[in-house]
Structure 1
Amino acid sequence: MVKNFYLGDIVEMKKGHPCGGNAWEIIRLGADIKVKCCNCSRIVMIPRSKFEKDVKKIIKQNVPEEK
């Protein structure tokens, strides 16, 4: 799987959130990745290594435009 993530991407994780949603929006990238649940708007920080293992698929990719 491609390991390129961008701000605003919507990803599906292997485990769902307790609220019932499993779609997450990436709102911060770095050594830790901050994601927001698309169902209940809860924000969670996950280490990048765990995040990359737990991503099932990218639902919507927000590729930045090149100038």
Structure 2
Amino acid sequence: MTTRPVLELLLGDIVRLRRTHPCGGATWMVDRLGADIGLRCRTCGRHVLLERRLLESRFAGFVERGDPAITAAARPGPTSAA
């Protein structure tokens, strides 16, 4: 069994999946990161959640990369116990 590296996604990434959406849209914007990835169709605005594993199997490529600073700001930092 070969292990593939984890797909590094950023908030705001524009991705293309293997199949088009029923509305005819081919590109999706990443708007949620975690175990489930939130995607918004750039044609009709429909929002879907996909398991990361399922997204990685349907992933065809990046159209545009998001801003790493936005992703870093959205990640929860370490909590301080005071």
Gaps of 5+ in 2: 73-82
Whole-angstrom distance in 2 between the partners of 1:47 and 1:11: 15
The percentage of aligned residue pairs carrying the same residue is: 38
Equivalent in 22, 25, 50 of residue 26 of structure 2: 22
| Higher Cα Rg, which structure | 2
Larger RCO: Structure 1 or Structure 2 (Cα < 8 Å, ≥ 6 residues apart)?
1
Residue 3 of structure 1, CA deviation: 1.4
The answer to whether the aligner puts 1:45 opposite 2:41 as a matched pair is no
Residues in 2 aligned to 1:51 and 1:2: alpha-carbon distance in whole angstroms:
11
What's the C-alpha RMSD, in Å, of the aligned pairs? 1.8
Between Structure 1 and Structure 2, the one with more helix by share is 2
For 1:23 and 1:14, the matched residues in 2 are separated by 10
* TM-score (structure 2 length as normaliser): 0.74
Letter in 2 for 1:17: H
TM-score by length of 1: 0.90
